[in-house]
Amino acid sequence: MQQELDRSLQNLKKTPTPPYFLSYQLTDNRAIEVSASFGALTGSSDRTTRYLDLDLRVGDYALDNTHPLRESGSFGDMSAQFERQSIPLDDNPDALRVALWHETERKYGSATQRLQQVKGNVEVKVAAEDRSGDFSRENAETYSEAIAPFSFDSSAWEQRMRKVTAPFAEHKEIIENNAEVIAEIETRRYVNSDGSRIRISSPFYRIIISATAKADDGMELPLHQTYMSFRPQGLPSDEAILKDVNHMVEVLLALAKAPLAEPYTGPAILSGRASAVFFHEIFGHRIEGQRQKNEDEAQTFKKKVNQPVLPEFLSVYSDPSLKTYAGTELVGYYAYDDEGVKARRVTVVDKGILKNFLMSRAPIEGFAHSNGHGRRQQGYKVVARQSNLVVESSQQVSRAQLKKLLIEQIKAANKPYGLFFDDIEGGFTFTQRIIPNAFNVRPTVVYRIYPDGKEELVRGVDLIGTPLIAFSKINAADDQIAVFNGVCGAESGWVPVSAASPGLLVSQIEVQRKEKSQERAPILPPPPAIGSK
C-alpha cells in the first residue's frame, strides 16, 4: 500500500492538478454467523471480504473536490453515494498494487472533474455561513497491532442457538423469533500521504435475540436482548441466556394482554438504558461536526457553545478509547478512526454547558481539528459520528427515590398517572431544516405509575417530541447506570456505537400511539412438538 501510494503521488505530481492528499484503507473482514428460530437452525455462514476505501483530494485544504455542492431542492448534494471496491483476497503484492493503481486512476479523474463543479458552485451561490476549510492538517500517526487471535466453534453454536430459541415455540402469542450469534474479526490497514501507517485488528462477538408477540387487536410487540464481548468466553452461558429468554417470554405474554396506552403528556422516568438511547438519538446526532456546517441542517447547538444546554448536574463526553463502562464492554470502542486520527475523550457538555462537537478532519467554524470521530462503514465517505457517548450526573438518588419524586410530580400536575420507560429498541430523529426537528423513540416495555405507587404494564406507545424542550424538562437522575450497545445508521453508513446513562426523571414527555398491523392474531394454535402429548 505504501509503495503504491508513493508511486501514485510521484506520477500525479506531473499532472496540471496534482493531489494534495491521498489515503488508502484496506479492510479485511471475516464474519461467521449462526442463526436459529423457534428451536431450529435457519442459517450458518462463514464469509471473508476485503474492501478498499480511497480518499484522493485535489485543490487545497481550504477548498477541494469534496466540498459540498449547494444545490436547489430538498436533498442538496447527493455526491456521497455508496461506493465500495472489492480487492483480491490473495496477499499477492502485484495483484494488490494493480487494484490500488486502477482505483487511484479512477478516483483522480472524478476528483478533478468535480473540483471544477465545486469552483463553479461557489461562484454562483451566496456566501456560505461557515467559511472554514474542507480538510484539516493532522499529525502523522504510526501504530501497529498484531493480527488478533480469532476462534469460533460453529457446530457448538448451532446447537446452542437451537437450544436458546426453543422456548419461544411453546407459545402461540409469539409469532416471530430470531437469534443469531456473530463472530467477526476486522483488520484495517491505513496509509496516507501525511505519513500515517496504522494497522488495527479487532475481534468482536455478539448475540442478538429478538421475539415478537401479537395482541388480539393486531399490534405487534417486539423485544430484544443483546450480548457482546471482545472475547468468545465473554459471552454468557446457556443457562444465563435461557434465564433471559424465559423472562422475555413472560414479558411478551404479559404485553399481549396489557391494556393499550393512550396519548399522554406528563412526568415520566426513563431507565438508564432508555435514557442512553434517548441521548444517542436526540442529543448525539446534533453534536456531530458536519451538521454544524451543512446549511440544510437545523444546527440546533451551533451557536450554543459555552451556553447551557442541559441541567447543570449533567455532563456528557464521547470516548472511543473506552473498552468498558459500568462493567459492560462497549461496542463503540476503537483506537484510531477511519482517517488515521487517534481516538480520544471529548468533553461535549461540562456541568450543563456545551463545550465541544464530535469532529472528523472536516473543520467547522471555531473547531479546526479532528478529535478522532471520523467514521464510516466501508464504501461510504467519512463524517463525524458518535462512538461511546456517556452521560454522567453529579447528583444521584436511588431508583426508589426517583419514583417518589415522580409521584410527587404526578400529584402536583394533577395527572392520573406517570410513565416509566423500562426498555427500548431504538428510535430515529430528524435534524434537517426542511422537516420538523422532532424525534421518535420506540419503547418496548412501559409501565403506568399511579399516585399510590401501583405499576401497570401497558403497550403501544412511542415517545415523541422536540429536542430543546425535552432537554429542558430533565429534573433528576438515579444511580442505576445502564449501557446500550447497537449499530447506528447515518450518512456514512452503519457503525457500532454505545451509549451509557443513569435513569432520568423528566417533568414532561409526550407519547403517541404506536402503529399497528391490521392482520389478526393467529387463529390456529402452533403445532405440538414431536413426541409431546
CA–CA dist 338, 372 (Å, integer) = 9
**pLDDT for 529:** 62
Please check whether residue 527 lies inside any domain of the structure.
Answer: no
Same domain, 240 and 274: no
DSSP for residue 261: P
- The per-residue pLDDT for range 432-485, each reduced to its tens digit, is 777 777 777 788 999 999 999 999 999 999 888 888 888 899 999 999 999 999
Same domain, 286 and 242: no
Same domain, 362 and 433: yes
**pLDDT for 76:** 44
* Domain finish residue from 219, 234, 257: 257
* Domain finish residue from 92, 109, 144: 144
**pLDDT for 78:** 43
DSSP for residue 153: -
**pLDDT for 77:** 53
Q: Domain with 175 in it: what CATH number?
A: 3.30.2290.10
Average pLDDT over residues 155-175: 94
Please check whether residue 525 lies inside any domain of the structure.
Answer: no
Residue for grid cell 457482546: 228
What number of CA atoms fall less than 13 Å from residue 339's CA on the CB side?
Answer: 27
DSSP state string for 331-343? TT--SB-TTSPBP
**pLDDT for 513:** 83
Please check whether residue 197 lies inside any domain of the structure.
Answer: yes
Please check whether residue 530 lies inside any domain of the structure.
Answer: no
- For the cut 90, the answer to whether the pLDDT of residue 279 exceeds it is yes
In 3-state terms, the chain is what percent helix, strand and coil (to 5)?
Answer: 25, 40, 40
Average pLDDT score over the chain: 92
Same domain, 205 and 335: no
Cβ burial 345-383 (10 Å sphere, 16+ → b, else e):
bbebbbebbbbbbbbbbbbbeebeebbbbbbbbbbbbbb
Same domain, 332 and 465: yes
Cell numbers describing residue 215: 395482541
Cell numbers describing residue 63: 477548498
Average pLDDT over residues 488-500: 92
DSSP state string for 376-442? --TTS--EE---EEEEEESS-B-HHHHHHHHHHHHHHTT-S-EEEEEEEEEEEE--BTTS---EEEE
- Compute how many other C-beta atoms are within 10 angstroms of the C-beta atom of residue 113: 11
Same domain, 17 and 105: yes
Same domain, 393 and 419: yes
Same domain, 109 and 194: no
Same domain, 303 and 243: no
Please check whether residue 458 lies inside any domain of the structure.
Answer: yes
- For the cut 60, the answer to whether the pLDDT of residue 128 exceeds it is yes
- How many structural domains compose the chain? 3
- For the cut 80, the answer to whether the pLDDT of residue 220 exceeds it is yes
Please check whether residue 522 lies inside any domain of the structure.
Answer: no
Domain range for 130 is: 2-33+43-76+84-144
Same domain, 161 and 307: no
- The per-residue pLDDT for range 330-368, each reduced to its tens digit, is 999 999 999 999 999 999 999 999 999 999 999 999 999
Q: What end-to-end distance do the CA atoms of the chain give, in Å?
A: 65
Percent of the chain with pLDDT over 70: 96
For 90, 101, 212, 248, 258, the CA distances from 28, given in Å and listed in that order, are: 11, 19, 35, 36, 47
Give CA 290 to chain center in angstroms: 16
- The per-residue pLDDT for range 495-507, each reduced to its tens digit, is 999 999 999 999 9
- For the cut 80, the answer to whether the pLDDT of residue 428 exceeds it is no
Q: Give the residue from 401, 415, 420 showing the smallest Cα distance to 269.
A: 420
| Range of weakest confidence among 101-115, 244-258, 292-306 | 292-306
- For the cut 90, the answer to whether the pLDDT of residue 532 exceeds it is no
- For the cut 70, the answer to whether the pLDDT of residue 234 exceeds it is yes
Same domain, 176 and 231: yes
Same domain, 288 and 390: yes
- For the cut 50, the answer to whether the pLDDT of residue 73 exceeds it is no
Cell numbers describing residue 72: 436547489
* Domain finish residue from 93, 110, 144: 144
Please check whether residue 66 lies inside any domain of the structure.
Answer: yes
Average pLDDT over residues 251-266: 94
Please check whether residue 528 lies inside any domain of the structure.
Answer: no
Average pLDDT over residues 105-117: 95
